[in-house]
Structure 1
Amino acid sequence: MTASTPRARRSQQERRAVTVDRLVAATVETILELGYYRTSVKEICTRAGLSVGAMFRQFDSRLELIGKVALDLTEQILESYRSAAKVLQAQPDPRRSAIEFLAASASAPLTDVWRELMMAARTDAELRAMIAPSLPLLYEGAYELTEELGLFGNVPESERRVLLFSMMHMFSGATLTRPIYPLPDIDEQRVSLAAHYLSLAADLEPSIPGEVTT
């Protein structure tokens, strides 16, 4: 571009997208550093370098912005899973590597923000309703990816979903308690235990839903 060539002006839609991205990024940053309940409109706008009016031109309320944040978090986390999948498939033990990645991703910053939202939603019905549509997208998206990769290929189909979700819950719970009760020696054992259960599940016959097996 020469000095005499005028820059193309952004369309209104492009300007709106940039503003929304800045608000979402500022909200994620604030929740990560201060927690959900200290994430005020003023703090978000200050970090985004925008006026409060600019925020309310894009969102009717702070809660609506949080709903957008939940959706964007889900998409970003799933994209990180997809990017990692290419590397995991090339590992000597893709299943073990996938479990290690799942454990690490449970304490990633984006996941920490999602967890903060879920904890706040327990006692906040409006927040719960706003973020509820996004969480199934995260879990089901992770499940679809494991199916595409064939990571649970030898596991009976009826067992795969509960196995993946249980591992995600286990690693998420460990991340929640770690700041208060760190157990680094158990963290590695937890990965090995998950890998062990996965190998056992691969040898299971499909069970009848609701049936207790021994």
Structure 2
Amino acid sequence: MAKLVEATIEAIEEVGYHRASVGEISTRAGVSKGGLFRHFESRLELVVAAAEEVGRRHMTNFRTLRATTGHLSPLDLVREARSATRHETNVVWFELLVAARTEPELRERLSPVARALLDDVENAARETVEPGVSDELTQLVATSLIHMFDGESIFRYTYPRPELEEARLHAAARLLESLTQR
């Protein structure tokens, strides 16, 4: 199963959601189409498993970084958030979210996956800020940073503005710093 999930992630990342066919995924995994369906009822089941794995990887990377470096500075924290959105596997999220806009079944299946990932992000943010900061403000800042960096990640290829990206990073760190040092 892990080979199929990994092959799905790679296929969506490299050829896009719509071209990541069962044949493409099976070939990459070195598994027959029948073998794929012994593990997953449908392509959609496999795609959802791949989306869950991408979310797991993002949060594992963040938690590992946080554990190995102790308490991250606000600047390091926002750098890590931006780095995660620029990672190649995040392309899988972008592909799936765009496809889900017009595919109701995919949207319905991805909704709990997206909710779980954002809940994880918000919980990690709550672990970072001072106890007196409200959950509502923490949620707002954490999700705003993620959405801002998602947009930046998409636009940086067609309209790169490195000076604004760096300034945005420092402004976000100052905002986060104001929440973590009361």
Residue correspondences, number: 182
| Distance in 1 between residues matched to 2:137 and 2:43, nearest whole Å | 40
Match of 1:158 in 2: 136
1:106–1:172 CA contact under 8 A, matched in 2: yes
- Secondary structure of the equivalent of 2:125? helix
* Larger-gyration structure (1/2): 1
* Same amino acid, percent of matched pairs: 32
- Aligned partners of 2:130 and 2:179 also within 8 Å: no
Q: What letter matches 1:54 in structure 2?
A: G
Q: TM-score, normalised by structure 2?
A: 0.91
Superposed counterparts of 1:1-20, under 5 Å: 20=1
Higher RCO (CA-CA < 8 Å; seq separation 6+)? 2
1:57 and 2:35 correspond: no
- Aligned residue in 1 for 2:97: 118
1:45 partnered with 2:26: yes
Alignment of 1:77-92 (within 5 A): 77-90=58-71
Normalized per residue, the structure richer in helix is 2
Q: In 2, are the aligned partners of 1:81 and 1:142 still within 8 Å (CA)?
A: no
Aligned partner of 1:185 in structure 2 is: 163
- Kindly state the Cα deviation for residue 154 of structure 1 after the two structures are TM-superposed: 5.6
Kindly indicate whether the alpha-carbon contact (under 8 Å) linking 1:32 and 1:113 is maintained by their aligned counterparts in 2.
yes
Work out the CA distance in 2 between the residues paired with 1:61 and 1:21: 16
* Structure 2 CA distance for partners of 1:114 and 1:76, relative to 1, 3 Å: same
What SS does the corresponding residue of 2:146 show, helix, strand or coil? helix
Instruction: State the match for 2:77 in structure 1.
Output: 98
Q: 1:133 and 1:145 mapped to 2: Cα distance? A: 18
Of 94, 98, 116, the residue aligned with 1:137 is: 116
CA distance in 2, matches of 1:34, 1:126: 21
The alpha carbon displacement at 1:199 in A equals: 4.0
**Which stretches in structure 2 are left out of the alignment for 5+ residues?**
none
Q: Does structure 2 retain, via aligned residues, the 8 Å contact 1:107–1:175?
A: yes
Contact 2:4 2:36 in 1 (8 A): yes
Give the letter aligned to residue 111 of structure 1.
N
The DSSP-based 3-state class of the residue aligned with 1:38 is: coil
- Cα deviation, residue 88, structure 1: 4.3
Once residues 69 and 165 of structure 2 are traced to their aligned partners in structure 1, the CA distance between those partners, rounded to angstroms, is 20
Alpha-carbon spacing, 1:168–1:111, altered in 2? closer, same or farther (3 Å): same
Q: 1:58 to 1:202 in 2, by over 3 A?
A: closer
Within 5 Å, give how 1:203-214 maps onto structure 2. none
Q: Which amino acid aligns with 2:104?
A: A
Cα pair 1:167 1:194 within 8 Å, conserved: yes
Is 2:4 aligned against 1:26? no
